[in-house]
Amino acid sequence: MARVKFAATLVLLSTAAAWAQFAEADMKKLAASRLDSITTTLKLSPEQVTAIKPLLESKYTEMGAVKQKVLVEGQSTTGKQVADARNVKREAVESMKAINSKYDKQILSHLQPNQAKQYKDMAKGWKEDLSLNPPKP
């Protein structure tokens, strides 16, 4: 029994470590990757890149913080704690949607109409960015 608890603890710690790394460093890498994609595809001007870069960085940093909160607060498995974990996840889903919407509106304000349409189409393919599931270690 003690071995099972120890093994479960190791799994949780390795998942936490993987997600903590994802929430901090990889979210910035993801923002940079998204910026590279839209810069190339939408043929952004230097002024547009300057305006959009901090928006993408903030968007993905905030999303990473939400993912981290779910990890920390949502690891419960018994009774009332399960209900609390569900509430944390439900609130996190709403937070992720709000963050995405807030920053996308700001990003769209810096785009020409044809670029905005292309951006919306591209963003549809980025739904995994909103996932609350941790990456596999």
**Cα separation of the two ends of the chain:** 24
Q: Is 136 contained in some domain?
A: no
What per-residue confidence (pLDDT) applies to 94?
92
Q: Is 118 contained in some domain?
A: yes
- Owning domain of residue 55: 2-130
Contact indicator for 41, 86 with CB cutoff of 8 Å? no
Q: Is 19 contained in some domain?
A: yes
The more confident residue out of 12 and 101 is 101
> 35-55 pLDDT, tens per residue?
999 999 999 999 999 999 999
Whether pLDDT at 12 is above 90: no
> 54-101 pLDDT, tens per residue?
999 999 999 988 888 777 765 555 555 666 677 878 888 899 999 999
Q: Is 81 contained in some domain?
A: yes
**What's the pLDDT band for 14 if we cut at 50, 70, 90?**
very low
Q: Which residue, among 24, 110, 96, has the nearest Cα to 66 in the 3D structure?
A: 96
DSSP annotation of 24 reads I
Q: Is 135 contained in some domain?
A: no
Residue 103's CB: how many other CB atoms inside 10 A? 19
Q: Is 20 contained in some domain?
A: yes
Number of domains in the chain: 1
Maximum separation of any 2 CA atoms in the chain, in Å: 62
What per-residue confidence (pLDDT) applies to 15?
44
Q: Which residue, among 18, 10, 19, has the nearest Cα to 92 in the 3D structure?
A: 19
Q: Is 88 contained in some domain?
A: yes
> 97-130 pLDDT, tens per residue?
999 999 999 999 999 999 999 999 999 888 777 7
**C-alpha distance from residue 137 to each of 11, 52, 58, 67, 134 (Å):** 9, 31, 25, 15, 9
Q: Is 93 contained in some domain?
A: yes
What per-residue confidence (pLDDT) applies to 70?
77
